[in-house]
Amino acid sequence: MATIDISMVAIKKLNTYSVLQGLDINACQEEIVPDSLTENAFDVIVVSRFLDRTLSDAIIDALKPDGLLFYQTFTRDKDNTDST
């Protein structure tokens, strides 16, 4: 399994956890730009707390057919209304 993150802290934590759990994960630190993603390369892509609209097409193209994209981002203004 390949994992790419811009944060070395996240990569170190993932590497430590994967060894403890006996998981085969290849994690590396890399800045993501449109040309760094290979088309049809990933079964699952997870993006969390990150937004760069210039990467949208490259992220979608990097998914294999029937791949899954989970994208969690943030909004400019957090909604603090009471939902009760």
Q: Residue by residue, what is the 3-state secondary structure of 5-60?
A: ECCHHHHHHHHHHHHHHCCCCEEEECCCCHHHCCCCCEEEEEEECCCCHHHHHHHH
Statement: the pTM of the whole predicted model exceeds 0.75: no
Residue 66 gets the label, from left (phi > 0), alpha (psi -120 to 50) or beta, of: left
pLDDT digits (tens, 9 = 90+) for 8-56: 998 999 999 999 999 998 888 888 888 888 999 999 998 888 888 899 9
- Cα 53 to Cα 56: distance, rounded to the nearest angstrom: 5
